[in-house]
Amino acid sequence: MNSEPGKRMILISGLSGSGKSVALKALEDQGFYCVDNLPAGLLPALADEVGGAPDRYPRIAVGIDARAGRAELQCLPALIGSLPLSTDLIFMTAENPVLIQRFSETRRRHPLSAERTLTQAIDEERALLEPLAERARFVIDTSQLNIHQLRRRIWDLVRPAEGLEIANLVLESFAFKHGVPREIDLLFDARCLPNPHWQDHLREATGLERSVRDYLAGETMVQSFIDDIDQFLRRWLPAWADEQRSHMTIAVGCTGGQHRSVYVIDELAARWRKRGVKALTHHRELQR
């Protein structure tokens, strides 16, 4: 999978119960725009839409399976070859006893089970999808994979072209005197840094204003604090992403949540955005 971002599409297909929904959610966690159970006949229109708006749809994944119907599935291999986007097909499969056990555990109805036993429906679906399995670039047998192993396998397939990332990275400043935010994953305490509150001309300003920023930028201790957090997170964010973390909130607190923590969060966000990281900032006390 090495086509240009914004000009590629991943199709997820395979047997019911093989893990297609897990695969789509794993791609969604890596920033893919995902569409499940799309009628095959709409693929060309979707490809045109994606090609015309690469910034809106930088990465897209589509789930197509037996629910599309025999007629559409028979036309799908030729249709894929005619699409204007580079298209990779990932086909999910599993052994019959495993699929039977999964349907038994979830008590879900197989989409082809009308007037058929479950075993007959699985065999019918396998035959129906065989042309897609032969067309697939990657075939994943999930018989021996749990959910976490399957997610990792899917992420490994997109890693060479894009690398794993934390899809939602939130940076939050707060005041310890108002309590620590509940939803955070990592916390750094900036109360050890010089406090602009004790400077009369800075007391009513915030860490977003030039006067406070100039003051803190001139303090070596503050810059070392930011450098250390930056280095720590650059070292460990890929490891957390590899462990299937798609969302992280990193918080920096100070006494009042007005000066030091705001400045540190804003500086970290600016650094990461320059490196292409999508970082959202939230200054809790400034928005009260």
Tell which residue, 40, 221, 208, has the closest CA to residue 135: 40
pTM of the model: 0.59
Average pLDDT over residues 5-16: 79
Q: What is the pLDDT of residue 265?
A: 97
Question: Which amino acid is present at 40?
Answer: A
Q: Which structural domains are found in the chain, ordered by start?
A: 8-162 (3.40.50.300), 168-287 (no CATH)
Percent share of the chain, pLDDT over 70 = 92
Q: Which of 25-34, 152-161, 175-184 has the highest mean pLDDT?
A: 175-184
Q: What is the pLDDT of residue 99?
A: 93
Residue 74 vs residues 6, 11, 91, 112: alpha-carbon distances, Å: 28, 16, 16, 16
Tokens linked to 24 = 């789509």
Which stretch of 35-44, 80-89, 119-128, 274-283 has the lowest confidence by average pLDDT? 80-89
pLDDT at 246 over 70: no
**Average pLDDT of the chain to the nearest whole number:** 86
Tell which residue, 129, 137, 178, has the closest CA to residue 158: 137
Average pLDDT over residues 214-228: 96
Q: What is the pLDDT of residue 3?
A: 41
Tokens 């095959």 -> residue: 40
Q: Which of 16-25, 37-46, 239-248 has the highest mean pLDDT?
A: 16-25
Tell which residue, 61, 62, 25, 58, has the closest CA to residue 278: 58
Q: What is the pLDDT of residue 76?
A: 78
Which stretch of 14-18, 36-40, 256-260 has the lowest confidence by average pLDDT? 36-40
Q: What is the pLDDT of residue 5?
A: 43
Average pLDDT over residues 180-197: 93
Q: What is the pLDDT of residue 72?
A: 73
Tokens 């399957």 -> residue: 150
Tokens 């939602």 -> residue: 168
Question: Sorting pLDDT into bands at 50, 70 and 90, what band is 159?
Answer: low
Residues 149-176: b if buried by 16+ CB within 10 A, e if exposed: ebbbbbbebbeeebebbbbebbbbbbbb
Separation of alpha carbons 265 and 275, rounded Å: 16
pLDDT at 276 over 50: yes
